[in-house]
Every structure is written in C-alpha cells, then in structure tokens.
Amino acid sequence: MIKTLSYSILLFWLLAVLLGRLFQLDPNQIDLNAILSSPTTVYWLGNDDLGRSILARLLHGVEVSLLVSVSVTLVTMAVGVLIGMLAGFYGGKIDQVLMQVTDVFLAFPGILLAIAFAAVLGPGLLNLMIALSLTGWVSYARLTRGQALSLRDRQHVQAALSLGASVPRLIVKHILPLLTSVLVVEATYSLASVMIAEASLSFLGLGIQAPNASWGAMLRDGVRYMLVAPHYVLIVGLSLMSLILAINLGGDSLRDGLDVRQER
Amino acid sequence: MIKRLLSFCTVVFGVLSLTFLLIHLVPGDPVEVMLGESASLADREALRADLGLNQPIAKQFGSYLSRLAHADFGVSIHTKTPIIALIKTRYPATLKLACLALLIGVGIGVPLGVYAALKAGHWQDLLVTIISVRLSAMPAFWLGPMLMLIFAVWLGYLPVSGMDSPSSIVLPALTLGFGLSAILTRMTRTSLLEVLNDDFIRTARAKGLSEPQVILHHALRAALLPIITIVGLQMGSLLAGTVITETIFSWDGVGRLLVESIEKRDYPVTQACVLLVALSYVVVNLVTDLLYRWADPRIKLAH
C-alpha cells in the first residue's frame, strides 16, 4: 500500500509537470492585481509576492530540482564508484590516501561543506551542481570500496585475472555488475538527499537565483510573507513533504525488493 | 586508541587544509570578488597583503596554521573587527540552542522509543515508527517554517523570530530537537528490543521484579550504550543544522554569522565559521568514541 502511495505521488508530480508544460503555465508572468492573493479559480494555488502564479512556479521548481538531483546523482556516482574501485581494487597506499581524503570530507557535518563550496563559487545553477557534486561522491566511494574489497577475492574474479583479463575489463565485466543493485538503492536515497540539499542551499540564497523558481527559495519567500499570506508557505511546504516522502518510501520499497542493505 | 588519535590528527589536518583552500576556490580574483569592481587599486593591494594572498601558497598555509595556533582567525573585511570577537559573542548562542535541542531530542526520543519497544508489533509501535522515521527525513528548513506557522502565526503562543524574549528559543530548539528525537526513537526501540529477549531480563522477571523495575533498571541500562553514541554523533550534525535553523528564526549564532558572511562576501569570516563547526564536530566525535571504548571494554578487544 505504501509502495502504491509513493509511486502515485511521484506519478502525480510527473503528470502535473507535463500538464503545466502542455498548458504553458508561465512561472514568471506577473499579475500586480494578485500579489500574495489566496487561491482563486484563475490561480489555483494563489500568488506570490510579485503576483506570480504559485502553481506555475511550483511545477517549474520541480523540473529544476529534478534536473539538479538527477545530474548530481549521476556525476557523484560515476566519480565515487571510480575512486572506490581504485581504492578497493588496488589497496595499499592508494587505498590509504583515498580513504584519508574521504575521512576529511566526512568530517564536515551534513550540508556544511556544500554551503562552503557554494559560498566561494558564488550562486547559480551550475555552481550549485558543482558544490553538491564536490561533496556527494564520498558515500559512493566508501560503498564501492567496501564491496570491491570483498569482491576482489571472489573466485570468478581471480579466475578472470589468471586468464589474463585487464584490470579495466575485470572492473567493468566482473565487479561492476555485482554492484548494480546496491548502487541503484543508494542512488534513490541520494536523489532525495540531493533534492533536500538543493532546496536548503536555495533557501539560504546560495542556489538557484531569481527569477528562476526553486522550492527552497519559494519556502524562504513564504516565511518572509507568512503573516500576510500563510497559504504560500503552507502550499510549498506540503508539496515538498509529499515529494521527499514519496522518494524515500520508494527507496525503502526498492531496498526491500532488492534486499541489499540492512535497516539503518 | 593510539590509532584513533592518529587518525583524528590527520583528519584535523585535512579539515584545516580544506578550509584553507576554500578561499583559493573563488573563481577569478578573490580580492576583487570581496571588494567589488569599483575598489581602488591601493585598497585591493592592501587587502591582498593583509590576507597574505601575494605570497607563495606554502607560505600562506604556514602562516595560516601559526595564526590559528594563536587563536587568531583574522579580521572581518566588512566590520574590521577581529573574527575571534565575533565568534565569542555568537558561539555561546549556538551552543545554548544545540544543548536545549539535545535535551528536547532525548526527552522525546528515549521515552517514545521505550514505548514503541514495549508495544512492539502493535499499532502503537507502527504509528510511532512511521512518524519517527518520516520526521527524521524532513529537513529543518521545512519543519521550522511549519512550526512557526502553527505556533507563532496561527496560535500566537510564541514569538515568530529573533532573540528578544526568553521564549524565543523554543521554536528553533524544537525544530532541531524533533529531527534528533526521531533518530533517537528508532535507536532506543531497536536497542531495547535486542536486550529485552536476553536471559538476564528473564531472570529479573523470574525474580519477581515489577515490570517498570525490569525495564528501567535492567533493560534500559544495558540498552543505553548505543543511544549515547547516537547522541554524541548527532551533536555534530545538530551544530550543522543550526545554520539553517538560526537563519529561519533570526537567532544570532555562528550558523547565522556564516550565512551573513556569505551574503557580504566576507570570506575570512566564512572560513572561520566553517572551520569552527567542522572542528566542533570532529572533537565531539572523538570524545564519543573514547567514551564508548571506556564504557564498553568489548570494543577494545574487537579491534
């Protein structure tokens, strides 16, 4: 039941984005008569502080948010897996150095390092993605290293090695396929966490810049006008909650289905 | 033990290097970014010399370390005050907030976890678990505004933001504490459930002890160790979580100082705040680890 619920929420948002595209809702169209107005029949979810449609901006925000989280997840996974493979497969000095580096990255709690990178790189979509990628690869590197370390000694890998297979071939053909399910589950969780991180940075004004819509920035504006237009912050908050819950629940059911990771 | 301390030192060194390198990641000329394009050449050169940016990078790093050793974080570009003075006024506010959040987290999380463990398999357990698991997934920048909307705007019980009245701390502390309590509920439940099936609990019950005595004196005591670790580990992320919470509620702590310094492009302050929070986290982690080893001798044997 929970699985169905989470998939339907995801489907709902996907449909909403498509419909928004279909009806060409403009997230930047300003209606000065409707500043901070409550939901009406014209603007279903009301308007923000510049009289822009909250619905249109929400839908635009999902697109940006998905773009960021999918691309950051793919980049961090590629980099992290490569580094983890190098560390786990070769071991020794390389492993020690690389793991020291990941330890240092892990020493920065939560989103702090991403904030720091975003701060020095300056705001903007691309810089936001760079900042999130610079901090996101660590978990993949750790995960892959652990797996590669144990898979290295498996008989089929040793057999391929003694038959003269090159290391890249070993990694791509014999180790990577065994990692797929673990990586898929990890990627689902990282989609949600990148989405949260993007919204946090945009909330702090370090991410996506005006006039582009982002849920984090909308939430910040909503807080600013909470006293006059409480519907603004409420709508954005509930939307955000539904999406994050759906992705996390989807990740849970995916994990249970693939049965690769223990309950944390 | 020595290995742990050694790795602590390398991590601290790494943290220092990374925060040092931050300012060199600024695209283009950091001095120009900080002062703006209209600044005069003399001003720029003065700041460049102040920050030591005209020296070779190895030398810069050396003087950075030696200044830090003397608790000298440099001077804020914006207000021209020593950063250490800024931190001295801001850090206590952050600590106060984090400690209260910790109390709230433990105060809600542990009893709820015990309750869920005792009701394991019943609907109450399911309800608590669902709420706690889901609550922990909700970020502070969501929870904060929602609490603000309900308790400050709609019900009007508490001030919206600021630090003017003693009750101002309630909402930010709740925001931080709820997230922590969710994690603690889960940990307490799991850890207590493991213990409840042990022989010594059956013995305690067979002795005729009352159920509260069995739970509080025997089971919870044995289950406490993993809970303490989680509290220690979460203290660090609590410090990081203050960045967003303090910004939402205009709470004048280190987190807000960090965000303000970023907005003003006051990089030395940014650098100092990042370093301070990261070092607090590393130190708390080390202390937790050492306490844990001291409390449970089995860990020493295992390593």
Q: In chain A, whose CA is at the least distance from the CA of B238?
A: A109
> Is there a contact between B144 and B244 (Cβ–Cβ < 8 Å)?
yes
Which candidate, A8, A50, A6, A7, places its Cα nearest to that of A27? A50
Band the pLDDT of A259: cuts 50, 70, 90: low
DSSP secondary structure string, A152-205?
A: TTSHHHHHHHHTT--HHHIIIIIIHHHHHHHHHHHHHHHHHHHHHHHHHHHHTT
Give me A53's structure tokens: 């449609």
Q: In chain B, whose CA is at the least distance from the CA of A103?
A: B11
- Minimal Cα–Cα distance from B208 to chain A, Å? 35
| CA–CA dist B19, B7 (Å, integer) | 18
Tell me what ipTM this predicted complex has: 0.81
- Minimal Cα–Cα distance from A152 to chain B, Å? 23
- Minimal Cα–Cα distance from B172 to chain A, Å? 14
Of A115, A134, A218, A221, which to mutate for an interface test with B (greatest number of B Cβ within 10 Å)?
A115
Over residues A190-219, the mean pLDDT reads 86
Give me B40's structure tokens: 């005069």
Interface of B with A in 97-136 (CB under 8 A): 134
Give me B36's structure tokens: 């703006």
| CA–CA dist B177, B147 (Å, integer) | 12
Q: Per residue in A144-154, pLDDT tens? A: 998 888 888 88
Task: Give me the residue from B14, B18, B240 closest to A110, CB to CB.
Answer: B240
Task: Give me the residue from A216, A226, A227 closest to B141, CB to CB.
Answer: A216
What is the dihedral sign for C-alpha B273, B278, B282, B287? positive
Query: What pLDDT was estimated at residue B158?
Result: 81
DSSP secondary structure string, B4-63?
A: HHHHHHHHHHHHHHHHHHHGGGSSS-HHHHHH-TTS-HHHHHHHHHHHTTTS-HHHHHHH
Over residues A34-56, the mean pLDDT reads 77
| Residues 6+ away with beta carbon under 8 Å from B131 | B182
Q: Do B137 and A237 touch (CB under 8 A)?
A: no
- Rg of chain B over all Cα atoms, to the nearest angstrom: 24
B22 neighbourhood in chain A, CB within 8 Å = 116-117, 120
Which candidate, B232, B128, B226, B146, places its Cα nearest to that of B185? B128
Of B6, B160, B262, B267, which to mutate for an interface test with A (greatest number of A Cβ within 10 Å)?
B262
Interface of B with A in 138-157 (CB under 8 A): 138-139, 141-142, 145-146, 148-149, 153-154
pLDDT above 70: residue A183: yes
A203 neighbourhood in chain B, CB within 8 Å = 141, 244, 247
Give the residue ranges of chain B where pLDDT is below 50.
Answer: 303
Q: In chain A, whose CA is at the least distance from the CA of B20?
A: A116
> Is there a contact between B255 and A112 (Cβ–Cβ < 8 Å)?
no
A237 neighbourhood in chain B, CB within 8 Å = 142, 145-146, 149
- Which residue did the predictor score with more confidence, B51 or A232? A232
Band the pLDDT of A79: cuts 50, 70, 90: very high
* pTM (whole model) above 0.95: no
Task: Give me the residue from A200, A220, A230 closest to B139, CB to CB.
Answer: A200
Query: What pLDDT was estimated at residue B289?
Result: 80
Task: Give me the residue from A104, A226, A230 closest to B18, CB to CB.
Answer: A104
Interface of B with A in 244-283 (CB under 8 A): 244, 247-248, 258-259, 262-263, 267, 270, 274, 277-278, 281-282
Q: Per residue in A7-17, pLDDT tens? A: 888 888 888 88
A122 neighbourhood in chain B, CB within 8 Å = 26-27, 33
Over residues A165-183, the mean pLDDT reads 85
Give me A96's structure tokens: 């020690």
Query: What pLDDT was estimated at residue A263?
Result: 42
Q: Per residue in A114-163, pLDDT tens? A: 888 988 888 888 989 999 999 889 989 989 998 888 888 888 888 988 89
- Which residue did the predictor score with more confidence, B178 or A250? B178
Band the pLDDT of A261: cuts 50, 70, 90: very low
